[in-house]
Amino acid sequence: MSAAAGVLDSVANPLFLLAARGGDLTVVTVITALYPAGTVSLLALP
């Protein structure tokens, strides 16, 4: 599980940079702000 998290984190960083450089920054900011919601929802899993 931790290896998958490391891989996803490694993929997420370059994708964020691409989105911030080439995309609409307001959309990227809103999607990034949703990050804690995913963490909290994962805590609810048994």
* Cα gap 8→39, rounded to integer Å: 14
- Tokens 């959309």 belong to residue: 27
Res 4: pLDDT: 81
Contact 28, 16 (CB under 8 A): yes
Per-residue pLDDT of the chain (46 residues; tens, 9 = 90+): 778 888 888 888 888 888 888 878 888 788 778 877 777 777 887 7
DSSP 34: T
